[in-house]
Amino acid sequence: MNRTERKQQCPQLRWNAGVILFVLLLAVSCARPNPNNSHFLAAKEGVLFLYAAPLRMPQAFAPCAVETVSAVQHNGQHLPLTVQLPHITSQELTRQRRFAAGTLPSGDYSGLSLRFSAPLPHENSPSAELRQQELFIPCPFRIEEGKSALIQLALTAPNSGVATGSLQVTAALPPQPFTALSGSVSSSPCFVTFFDRQTDEVTGVVITGEEPGGMAIDLERQRLYVALAASAAVEVIDTASGRILSRIKLQGGDEPADLALINNGRTLLAVNRASSTLSFIDPLGEFEEERISVAAGPHRIVVAAQEDRAWLFCVDSGLISLIDLPNRMERKTMAIVPGEATGVLGRRDEVLYIAGQANAFLQVLDAATLQTQQLFVVDNGLQTLARDPMTGLLYGAARSEPGIQVYEPQGMNRIATLIAPNEIIDLTLDGTRHRLYAIAPESKTVQIYSLGGRHAVNALEPVGEPKRVLLFGVR
């Protein structure tokens, strides 16, 4: 097979045995191509993810160490999974946690087996006698080739009247993983994680093409579109079932970075960083209608509420482009802060607030003319911005620094700081529920903040290294 023929084969890669451990630790490596499967798996394999629900116990219990977790086939064979929560304590399970994961042969399974290494008390036995105990948890599930399954574990202690009551484990499939009050997280190298915004819990995982990034949701048609930078394509996911419907191919080397839907879901905009183009796609017919050239290195798009204009932030050129959407043309460009920049629209889409990683300034531009109206000195290197539509307050995170700064929009004075565990690279704001979602890549979490209380209220553990968050139905 020559080089051209290899390029024409399916671009997806398969995992071999030598990298499965890295897959389960959520740092997937890629091996030789598999033309018979469009996902990152060997033939006739799928992936199982286990999440542990927050502890809801009437009393204290003895901490446990998780020794092994296995999937149990109908013939009784145990297939080991990789444990990702080695210790169960009250502190560890104050929120939902990723418990274990593993690649498994496709087929039907009868349940799970958990072995704890001291002490897991039983209500009728002293804890000292049960330092090694294996539990079989009945939970029939099916692994499908090239797909993932998610099971949630519930750990409870019955009211036995002793200080260390027995720990019981049950398992169940999420009843309805994808709803209108859902959100999604795209993660490197090949995952989209769905979560429930009411419970702040992961409800499903989809294995996608390579390097998913920007996303757009069509709630009416129950479709999620995901930009695949390394695959030069847009993945189409059915949000009712969590299954991939199709893939819209772009041109080789496009590296789509961001997406937006307009015209009631009839036009999909794809921002192609490597080719410096903006694609206009018919998402229902699943083909590219037209593309226009824009400034070099576009990586983010902001669309006006009336959908007549859009602004592209172009990392490679330090420019911002104003796009006339009805006429599909670039109206003007303007130099902004050098390096990677981000921005949000102000009230009534009249101004743009723009910040960049490489300086300590925040610019306020006239959204129609791109002329600078104001220039403020803020914290060094703001790399992400979000705006609360209810209060007008701006939230920004500085490069290589923990914490999220809160600014009032008139004088851009910092009025508060939200504590973060480490550097925050992206912010997404839910104005209706007064929540802020912040991606913390070092801890591989999405931190969730209350805007009213200005403190962290929860955290999500998506699969992979999180890149972007999308909240369904939130502009």
Span 44-172 CATH architecture: Sandwich (2.60)
pLDDT of residue 131: 56
Of residues 202 and 129, more confidently modeled: 202
pLDDT tier at 5 (50, 70, 90 boundaries)? very low
For CA atoms 169, 174, 175, 180, the dihedral sign is positive
Q: At 95, phi and psi to the nearest 5?
A: -140, 170
pLDDT of residue 318: 84
Structure tokens given for 415: 């009025």
pLDDT tier at 159 (50, 70, 90 boundaries)? low
pLDDT digits (tens, 9 = 90+) for 218-273: 999 999 999 999 999 999 999 988 899 999 999 999 999 999 999 999 999 999 99
pLDDT of residue 84: 95
CA distances from 352 to 212, 366, 374, 404, 451 (A): 27, 6, 11, 20, 22
Lowest mean pLDDT among 108-122, 160-174, 350-364: 160-174
The whole-chain average pLDDT of the chain stands at: 85
Residue whose entry in the numeric block shows the structure tokens 């750990």? 155
pLDDT at 305 over 80: yes
pLDDT of residue 33: 31
pLDDT at 379 over 80: no
DSSP letter string, 391-422: T--EEEEETT-EEEEEE-TTT--EEEEEEEEE
pLDDT of residue 166: 57
pLDDT tier at 197 (50, 70, 90 boundaries)? very high
Domain boundaries, the chain: 44-172
Strand partners, 459: 447
pLDDT digits (tens, 9 = 90+) for 253-263: 999 999 999 99
- Sheet containing 287-293: give its strands across: 256-262, 267-272, 277-282, 287-293
Structure tokens given for 339: 């390096």
DSSP 125: B
Of residues 51 and 356, more confidently modeled: 51
Lowest mean pLDDT among 71-80, 142-151, 395-404: 395-404
pLDDT of residue 129: 47
pTM of the complete model: 0.87
pLDDT of residue 13: 35
**Most confidently modeled of 279-283, 333-337, 362-366?**
279-283
pLDDT at 163 over 50: no
pLDDT tier at 155 (50, 70, 90 boundaries)? confident
Share of the chain above pLDDT 70, in %: 83
Average pLDDT score over residue span 186-194? 96
pLDDT of residue 165: 44
pLDDT of residue 1: 44
For CA atoms 468, 472, 473, 474, the dihedral sign is negative
pLDDT of residue 60: 62
pLDDT of residue 119: 52
pLDDT of residue 162: 37
DSSP 124: T
pLDDT digits (tens, 9 = 90+) for 406-457: 999 989 999 999 999 889 999 999 988 999 999 999 999 999 999 998 999 9
pLDDT at 370 over 50: yes
Exposed e or buried b per residue across 264-294, where buried means at least 16 C-beta atoms within 10 angstroms of its C-beta? ebebbbbbbbbbbbbbbbebeeeebeebeeb
pLDDT of residue 56: 72
pLDDT at 20 over 80: no
Of residues 122 and 420, more confidently modeled: 420
pLDDT digits (tens, 9 = 90+) for 64-121: 889 999 999 999 999 999 999 998 887 888 899 999 999 999 999 999 999 987 554 4
**Most confidently modeled of 17-26, 48-57, 177-186, 385-394?**
385-394
pLDDT of residue 44: 87
Of residues 117 and 19, more confidently modeled: 117
